[in-house]
Amino acid sequence: MCVRLLLMVTTTAAQIACRQYSPNEGAPGAVEHVDTVEVKDVVWHAIPALNADNDGNWIVPFKVVSATRQIVSGLLYKINVLTTETKCSKSQTPLDDINATNCPIETDGRLEKWEIDYQEQEWLDIHNYTVRKVGDLTWDQVKLYKKR
- CATH code where residue 129 lies: 3.10.450.10
pLDDT grade for 109, boundaries at 50, 70 and 90: confident
Residue 6 within any structural domain of the chain: no
Q: Domain range for residue 128?
A: 23-146
Chain-wide mean pLDDT for the chain? 82
**Above pLDDT 90, what percent of the chain?**
56
Residue 18 within any structural domain of the chain: no
State the pLDDT at residue 147.
Answer: 59
Number of structural domains in the chain: 1
State the pLDDT at residue 27.
Answer: 64
Of 20-29, 39-48, 127-136, least confident by mean pLDDT is 20-29
Q: Give the distance, in angstroms, between the CA of residue 49 and the centroid of all CA atoms in the same chain.
A: 14
Question: Which tens digits make up the pLDDT trace of 29-70?
Answer: 789 998 878 899 999 999 999 999 988 999 999 999 999 999
Q: Give the distance, in angstroms, between the CA of residue 121 and the centroid of all CA atoms in the same chain.
A: 15
Longest dimension (CA), the chain: 83
Q: Is residue 74 within 8 Å of 122, Cβ to Cβ?
A: yes
Residue 13 within any structural domain of the chain: no
Residue 50 within any structural domain of the chain: yes
Residue 112 within any structural domain of the chain: yes
Residue 128 within any structural domain of the chain: yes
pLDDT grade for 7, boundaries at 50, 70 and 90: very low
HEC secondary structure over the chain: CHHHHHHHHHHHHHHHHHCCCCCCCCCCCCEEECCCCCCHHHHHCCHHHHCCCCCCEEEEEEEEEEEEEEEECEEEEEEEEEEEEEEEECCCCCHHHCCCCCCCECCCCCEEEEEEEEEEEHHHCEEEEEEEEEEEECHHHHHHHHCC
pLDDT grade for 138, boundaries at 50, 70 and 90: confident
Residue 2 within any structural domain of the chain: no
Q: Is the pLDDT of residue 21 over 50?
A: no
> How far is the CA of 76 from the CAs of 13, 30, 43, 70, 126, in angstroms?
35, 11, 13, 5, 12
> Whose CA is closest to 111, among 69, 91, 141?
141
Residue 5 within any structural domain of the chain: no
